[in-house]
Structure 1
Amino acid sequence: MNTPLYEKIYDFISEQIKLGHLKYGERVPSEKELAEEFNVSRITSKKALDLLSQNKLIERIRGKGSFVMKNQTVNKEERQTDLHHQDAKDSKLIALIIQDFDDAFGLKLVKTIEETCLHYNCNLIIRRTGGQIIEEENAIKDLVNFGVEGLIIFPIQGEHYNTELLKLVLMDFPLVLVDRYLRGIPASAVSTNNQSASEELTNYLFSLGHKDVAFLSPSPKGISTIEERVQGFHIAYSKQGIKLNPNFILYDLISSLPQNDLYDYDYQGIKSFIDDNPDVTAFIVCEYYLALALNKALNDLGKKVPEDYSVVCFDCPENSFGRASFTHIRQNELEMGKKAVDLLMKHLKGENIPKHTFIDFTLIKGKSTMEKQNVTA
Structure 2
Amino acid sequence: MNTPLYEKIYKYIISEIKQGKLTQGDRVPSEKDLAEQFNVSRITSKKALDLLAQNKIIERIRGKGSFVAAQQQKNEEVDDSLPLSRAEDSKLIALIIPDFDNAFGLNLVKAIERTCQQNNINLIIRRTGGRSEEEEKAIRDLVKFGVDGLIIFPVHGEHYNTELLKLVLSEFPLVLVDRYLKGIPASSVCTNNQEASEALTNYLFSLGHKDIAFLSPSPIGTSTIEERLQGFHFAYSKQGLKLNPNFLLLDLISSLPQNIEDALASTKLQADYEAIKQFIVQNPSVTAFIVCEYYLALALKNVLSQLGKSIPRDYSIVCFDCPENLYEKDTFTHIRQHEEEMGKMAVHLLKKQLRGEKIPKHTTINFSLIKGKTTSSISSISNNTIL
Secondary structure at the residue paired with 2:102? coil
Of 158-167 and 199-208, more deviation after overlay is shown by: 158-167
User: Partner residue of 2:365?
Assistant: 359
Show the counterpart of 2:209: 210
Query: Of 292, 301, 304, which residue of structure 1 is paired with 2:298?
Result: 292
2:377 alignment partner AA: E
Q: Which residue of 2 aligns with 1:228?
A: 227
Q: Give, in angstroms, the shift of residue 330 of structure 1.
A: 0.2
Query: Structure 2: which 5+ runs fail to align?
Result: 1-83, 258-264
Q: Contact between 2:193 and 2:228, CA under 8 Å: does it hold in 1?
A: yes
CA gap of 1:283–1:120, structure 2 versus 1, over 3 A, is same
Alpha-carbon contact 2:328-2:373 (below 8 Å) kept: no
Matches within 5 A, 1:1-377: 89-257=88-256, 259-320=265-326, 323-376=329-382, 377=384
* Contact 2:331–2:373 (Cα < 8 Å) also in 1: yes
CA contact (8 A) 1:217 1:252 kept: yes
Amino acid at match of 1:239: K
User: CA separation of 1:289/1:91 partners in 2, compared to 1, >3 Å: closer, same or farther?
Assistant: same
CA apart distance, 1:244? 0.7
Match of 1:7 in 2: none
Q: What runs of 5+ residues in structure 1 fail to find an aligned partner?
A: 1-84
Contact 2:189–2:365 (Cα < 8 Å) also in 1:
yes
Q: For residues 168 and 87 of structure 1, do their structure 2 counterparts lie closer, same or farther at Cα, with a shift above 3 Å needed? A: closer
Checking the alignment, whether the CA contact within 8 Å between 2:254 and 2:272 is kept in structure 1 is: yes
Amino acid at match of 1:122: I
After superposition, what is the alpha-carbon deviation per residue over 1:233-279, rounded to whole angstroms, capped at 9, x for unaligned?
00000000111111000011012216411111111110111111100
1:111/1:291 CA distance change after superposition, 3 Å: same
Deviation at 1:156, TM superposition (A): 1.6
> TM-score when scaled to structure 2?
0.74
Shift of 1:324: 2.9
State the aligned residue count. 293
**Structure 2 counterpart of 1:270, one-letter code:** I
**Equivalent pair of 1:94/1:122 in contact (CA under 8 Å):** yes
Q: Which runs of 4+ in 1 moved over 4 A?
A: 85-88
| Structure 2: distance between partners of 1:86 and 1:106 | 34
Give the equivalent residue in structure 2 for 1:73.
Answer: none
Q: Which residue of 2 aligns with 1:28?
A: none
Distance of aligned partners of 1:365 and 1:86 in 2 relative to their CA distance in 1, 3 Å threshold:
farther
Return closer, same or farther for 1:158/1:140 CA change in 2, 3 Å cut-off. same
Q: CA deviation at 1:333?
A: 0.1
Q: 1-side partners of 2:328 and 2:369: how far apart?
A: 19
Distance 1:260 1:367, change over 3 A: same
The one-character-per-residue Cα deviations of 1:323-342 (angstroms, maximum 9, x if unpaired) are 23000000000000000000
Looking at structure 1, the residues matched to 327 and 164 of structure 2 have their Cα atoms a distance apart, in angstroms, of 37
Change (3 A) 1:233 1:190: same
Give the deviation of 1:157 after TM superposition: 3.6
Q: CA deviation at 1:154?
A: 0.2
Which deviates more from structure 2 when the two are superposed, residues 254-263 or residues 225-234?
A: 254-263
What do residues 286-312 of structure 1 show as CA deviations (whole Å, max 9, x unaligned)?
Answer: 000000000000000000100000000
Specify whether residues 296 and 157 from structure 1 end up closer, same or farther in structure 2 by C-alpha distance, changes over 3 A only.
Answer: closer
Q: Conserved in 1, the CA contact under 8 Å of 2:130 and 2:156?
A: no
The amino acid that maps onto 1:219 is S
Q: TM-score, normalised by structure 1?
A: 0.76
> Hey, what's the Cα distance between the residues in 2 that align with 1:206 and 1:325?
20
Give the letter aligned to residue 201 of structure 1.
L
Cα separation, 2, equivalents of 1:373 and 1:320: 28
Of structures 1 and 2, the one with the larger relative CO (CA 8 A, separation 6+) is: 2
| RMSD after superposition | 1.4
> Aligned to 1:218, what secondary structure does the other structure show?
coil
Distance in structure 2 (CA, Å) of the matches to 1:209 and 1:93? 52
Residue 318 of structure 1: CA displacement? 1.7
Shift of 1:321: 7.2
Identity %: 71
1:321 & 1:255 partners in 2: Cα distance? 25
Equivalent AA in structure 2 for residue 331 of structure 1: Q
For residues 93 and 319 of structure 1, the distance between their equivalents in structure 2, rounded to whole angstroms, comes to 33
Assess if the C-alpha contact under 8 Å between 1:87 and 1:121 holds in 2: no
Structure 2 SS opposite 1:317: coil
Instruction: Say whether the 8 Å CA contact 1:319–1:325 is kept in structure 2.
Output: no
- Secondary structure of the residue that 2:290 maps to in structure 1? strand
Partners of 1:256 and 1:288 within 8 A in 2: no
1:191-216 Cα offsets, whole Å, 9 max, x none, are 00100000000000000000000000
How far apart, in 1, do the equivalents of 2:359 and 2:231 lie? 27
- Alpha-carbon distance, 1:127 to partner: 0.3
